Amino acid sequence: MRNSEAIWDCVEAHAADLIGLSDRVWGTPETLYAEYRSCAEHNAMLRQKGFRVTENLAGIPTAVMGEAGTGGPIIAILGEYDALPGLSQVAGLAEPRELEAGGNGHGCGHNLLGSAALLAACALKDWLAATGTPGRVRYFGCPAEEGGAAKTFLVRDGAFDGVDAAITWHPNPVTRVDDPLSLANMRLDFTFTGRTSHAAMSPHLGRSALDAAELMSVGVNYLREHVPQDARLHYAYLDAGGSAPNVVQGRAKVRHLVRAMQLHDMLAIVERVKNVARGAALMTGTEVEIQVVSAVSNMLGNRVMETTMQAALEELGGVPFDAADRAYARAIQATLTREEIATPYKVIAMPPRFDEPLCDYVVPLYPHGEVLIGSTDVADVSWKVPLVQALVATHAIGSPGHSWQITAQGKSPAAHKGLVHAAKAMSRCAEKLLTTPGLLTEAQAEHRARLAATPYTCPLPAGITPPLQPRPAEI
């Protein structure tokens, strides 16, 4: 028997329990530091499986950590379980239909993400005990990936201290090792305060906060031309000052999101955006208050970790989808444009296959395709320890990232197969790090060399705390 088969047997032994966890978390979609039910489910599963549990990790009540094993290196497996607002959807359909009007939904597949990560941790726990290998596994249940950057706070507050390497994954249209590319970002709220007045009789007495917010938008839109090409500037009005046009708006609040490929570029652009806001306030005779909401870094790669994960994925092969999985995926693809279906192929530099709705192969490492990148708080962990992220096929190729289609497919047999597959890849990668002489040391040496070239600066301003939500009375 190969080693890989032993650890994969450990995965299979817990698979049904963790698929059940994933489906339950799918059914309680919670967002942004309100993941009390989802976290409680993960906490209960960790205890049921015999982990030593730390609740309220770094003071965040919806973060949890479970540890198993003794001595040796510590491998972290990162999970998530937060959902997205407005993506409620009935499971198993191939047409949009809300399960709850205006409700949340697992439109990024984090129900699968957390459960597969915990499944990998269960397998490693058993394997460590069965083989007597010195080493520990820590499962990190991380909340608020979508818009909350919880991992940045967890890194800042020492939750990953002592960890030797970290492994994670994300549901995806195709199976591959993620390119170590993500955009650093910062969310900031700009609150303008002016003076209300009658808009017809005494406009000269008013100072419009809405004018200030709009002038800020104009300034930021002009700024776009003069920032690095990979930078992104987005904004959304949180409060336009009311609905009465005959009142000079005395307050307005707008949230800006600044992204760039490098952390230092992002921080420099943020300072320029702040100056645009100050200029808008000066022009309108209003005051502006600036509040940072969250921030993440760009991802730091690690070739040793990426090569190790690629080897684990190649041993496994593709996710074993069947004809029924393909039939449902084909029905989902019928709701997509050809451009949407072609997009994942551009990323992996392959010609699109419109006749194949699911990925049952492993993409070669570093495909050098078109770069389409977002941001993730996993990036801040990558500056703390050597980290790799696998991407495993769980849904129809072309399903948009945050969409009803992903929510709909989140409890499908194909998604369950992807979940188990991801756990096998992660646990095998961890096993290789623990048993291949010199491998972990090599990964850590690479990490140190990269940090020596570009030191890490926590992107969060001093003193900022996560926007925690109150615990519901019934939990």
Residues 439, 445: Cα–Cα separation, whole Å: 10
Minimum distance from CB of 110 to Zn ion (Å)?
6
Closest CA to 47 of 62, 30, 28, 64: 64
Burial class for 326, CB neighbours closer than 10 Å (0-12, 13-18, 19+): middle
Minimum distance from CB of 103 to Zn ion (Å)?
18
Cβ 117 vs Cβ 124: under 8 Å:
no
| Cβ nearer to Zn ion, comparing 108 with 174 | 108
Minimum distance from CB of 399 to Zn ion (Å)?
13
Binding segment for Zn ion among 50-58, 107-115, 275-283, 323-331 (CB under 5 A)? 107-115
Residues 152, 240: Cα–Cα separation, whole Å: 30
- Location of structure tokens 């709220």: 189
Q: Sign (positive/negative) of CA torsion 431, 434, 439, 445?
A: positive
Q: Give the CB-nearest residue to Zn ion.
A: 108
Minimum distance from CB of 50 to Zn ion (Å)?
29
Element (H, E) at 253: strand 251-260
Minimum distance from CB of 113 to Zn ion (Å)?
7
Which residues neighbour 370 within 8 Å (Cβ) at sequence distance 6 or greater?
346, 347, 349
Among 19, 76, 108, 163, indicate the residue that binds Zn ion (CB under 5 A).
108
Quick check: 144 binds Zn ion (CB under 5 A)?
Answer: no
Binding segment for Zn ion among 104-112, 221-229, 314-322, 355-363 (CB under 5 A)? 104-112
Binding segment for Zn ion among 49-57, 108-116, 182-190, 257-265 (CB under 5 A)? 108-116
Residues 435, 66: Cα–Cα separation, whole Å: 22
| Cβ nearer to Zn ion, comparing 57 with 378 | 378
| Cβ nearer to Zn ion, comparing 191 with 394 | 394
| Cβ nearer to Zn ion, comparing 117 with 216 | 117
| Cβ nearer to Zn ion, comparing 108 with 347 | 108
Residues 25, 106: Cα–Cα separation, whole Å: 9
Residues near Zn ion, by CB under 5 A = 108
